[in-house]
């Protein structure tokens, strides 16, 4: 059994959700949710809010952030790297 990683704070989940949402389409998000065995329970249409509310609920269910961190890992394996704006 994998080590249970502490739950992230709401602020931590929000920051990560906002960053991750910018790196994928809604369809890609759906695929990764499915690959991770996570159901989108957010009832939201905004990508970052879908991620945020889904993983806040999942952390409460699991008592750990493993599912969210696995989602981030799967997303990073798609090969798309976050593009920071040019300053």
**Predicted confidence (pLDDT) per residue in 28-75, tens digit:** 999 999 999 999 999 999 999 999 999 999 999 999 999 999 999 998
What is the CA 67 to chain-centroid distance, rounded? 8
- Side-chain-facing half-sphere of 4: CA atoms under 13 Å: 8
- Joined together, the tokens standing for residue 83 give 């593009």
Handedness of CA 64, 17, 58, 36 (dihedral sign): negative
Query: What band does 81 get if pLDDT is binned at 50, 70 and 90?
Result: low
Higher-pLDDT residue of 76 and 14 is 14
| Residue 52 near residue 17 (C-beta atoms within 8 A) | yes
Of residues 82 and 22, which shows the higher confidence score?
Answer: 22
Give the pLDDT score at 83.
54
Q: Does the structure show a pLDDT above 60 at 82?
A: no
């Amino acid at each position: 059994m994998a080590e249970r990683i502490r739950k992230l704070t709401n602020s931590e989940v929000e920051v990560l959700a906002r960053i991750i949402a910018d790196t994928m389409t809604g369809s890609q998000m759906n695929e990764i949710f499915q690959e991770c065995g996570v159901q989108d329970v957010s009832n939201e249409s905004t990508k970052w809010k879908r991620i945020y509310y889904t993983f806040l609920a999942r952390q409460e269910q699991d008592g750990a952030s493993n599912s969210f961190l696995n989602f981030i890992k799967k997303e990073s394996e798609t090969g798309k790297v976050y593009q920071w704006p040019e300053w």
